[in-house]
Structure 1
Amino acid sequence: MTATNIPPRDRLLEAADELFFKEGIRAVGINRVLEESQTPIMSLYRNFGSKDGLAAAYLERRGERQREVFLGEVERRASTPRGQILAAFDIFREDLEESDYRGCPFINATVEMASPDHEVSKIARRYKDAGRQWFAQLAAEAGASDPAGLAIQLTLLLDGAAAAAVLYRDTSGSEYARSTAEVLVDAALAAAPTGGRSAS
């Protein structure tokens, strides 16, 4: 299938996904997206209304794709809540080691938009909140003493390691994040009245 056989909306999203993630939403002009997607500007207006609309759709699409791949891989690697939490850190470490890693797309987009009320910022926050809630649910299932608090600690570890990988061009922080996560999880399980329900 040639580029012109792909619907204009899909071509715009593919180009936006490539350019916005690697170079930044603000840094990439809309003419560059149009050129890369071989799409006329009227297709942009018709499908997304504006560059901001395209940016919001790009982040939503990337979030859905990442979530689907991530959850499938976690379930493939581990069957217990504790195991799935730690599998998340293993997958994260592997992602950081990819040569095209540019940081967390949701944090990057939020920083670029500046305003917390921008639609892109709202989408980013929703996906980050969903990740925190996922950790909290697993922590509760494992029998952690404070699932919500543990979820905050775990997401802070991931976000910190992601930022350090971009800043220092060094992924070793993800290994420390994983080992710290294991300590935190086991401590939370040990502090529970039942000693936690998941041992692996």
Structure 2
Amino acid sequence: MTVTNIPPRDRLLEAADDLFYKEGIRAVGINRVLEEAQTPIMSLYRNFGSKDGLAAAYLERRGERQVEVFSSEVERRASTPRGQILAAFDIFRERLEESDYRGCPFINASVEMASPNHEVTQIARRYKDIGRQWFAQLAAEAGASDPAGLAVQLTVLADGAAAAAVLYHDSSGSQYARSAAEVLVDAALAAAPTGGQSAG
């Protein structure tokens, strides 16, 4: 990591983002992060207060970036609500196929923290909720009979494919998740009083 002209806070976040995601928050000692960031421990205390504070900031930043990149890419690929839902699964499949994929960072973090009241767990849940609400909004715009229910089904598919990719070191489950999502979406639209949107 090049540290020239990079503020200590940013160096710590970059190191945490790399190490916490690849190896786990609990598995990585704070000295390892400090060494990678080439930053003294007082910088950690001044900027984040503790390792838990750094972990929370890491997950928040990853969430913000993921939402921004994902939203813009979905809108670039599709213009209809149905199309955007399915585009999300295409993007998801591509991510699972990347060599550095280590699972959903939010699920990973919440499992590590164990406590539902931990700040990191709450951040993880908030970003998972954002994804579910996003699916529900698109489902409603498409005319699905039960947008909230469909959103739960879609997130379960995505989370299951993510877990399988890590467990089996095989991303092929994401292709089945995409196919299943299409079936679920079309069934939900067909069940709507107006038949939902046919295009997209």
TM-score (norm 2): 0.99
Q: Is the 8 A contact 2:82 2:197 kept in 1?
A: no
Count of residues in Structure 1 that have an aligned counterpart in Structure 2: 200
1:115 aligns with 2:115: yes
* Structure 1 runs (4+) greater than 4 angstroms displaced: none
Q: Output the CA distance in 2 between the equivalents of 1:195 and 1:153.
A: 19
Amino acid aligned to 2:158: L
> What corresponds to 1:30 in structure 2?
30
Q: Is the 8 A contact 1:81 1:198 kept in 2?
A: no
Q: Secondary structure at the match of 1:3?
A: coil
RMSD over aligned Cα atoms: 1.0
> What corresponds to 2:100 in structure 1?
100
- Aligned pairs (5 A) from 1:1-200: 2-200=2-200
Q: Output the CA distance in 1 between the equivalents of 2:176 and 2:3.
A: 43
Q: Output the CA distance in 2 between the equivalents of 1:157 and 1:2.
A: 39
Structure 2 spans left out of the alignment, 5+ residues: none
1:101-148 CA distance string (max 9 Å, x none):
000000000000000100000000000000000000000000000000
Q: Output the CA distance in 2 between the equivalents of 1:4 and 1:12.
A: 14
Q: Output the CA distance in 1 between the equivalents of 2:53 and 2:120.
A: 9
Amino acid aligned to 2:101: Y
1:73-128 CA distance string (max 9 Å, x none):
00000000000000000000000000000000000000000001000000000000
TM-score (norm 1): 0.99
Amino acid aligned to 1:119: E
Q: Output the CA distance in 2 between the equivalents of 1:6 and 1:111.
A: 32
Q: Is the 8 A contact 1:143 1:198 kept in 2?
A: no
Structure 1 spans left out of the alignment, 5+ residues: none
Amino acid aligned to 1:110: S
1:26-67 CA distance string (max 9 Å, x none):
000000000000000000000000000000000000000111
Q: What's the offset of the Cα at 1:199?
A: 1.9
Q: What's the offset of the Cα at 1:198?
A: 4.7
Q: Is the 8 A contact 1:25 1:109 kept in 2?
A: yes
Give the 3 Å change call, closer, same or farther, for CA 41–132 of structure 1 in structure 2: same
Amino acid aligned to 1:125: R
Q: Output the CA distance in 1 between the equivalents of 2:168 and 2:138.
A: 31
Q: What's the offset of the Cα at 1:197?
A: 2.9
Amino acid aligned to 2:8: P
Q: Output the CA distance in 2 between the equivalents of 1:111 and 1:4.
A: 35
Q: Output the CA distance in 2 between the equivalents of 1:135 and 1:86.
A: 10
Q: Output the CA distance in 2 between the equivalents of 1:2 and 1:27.
A: 24
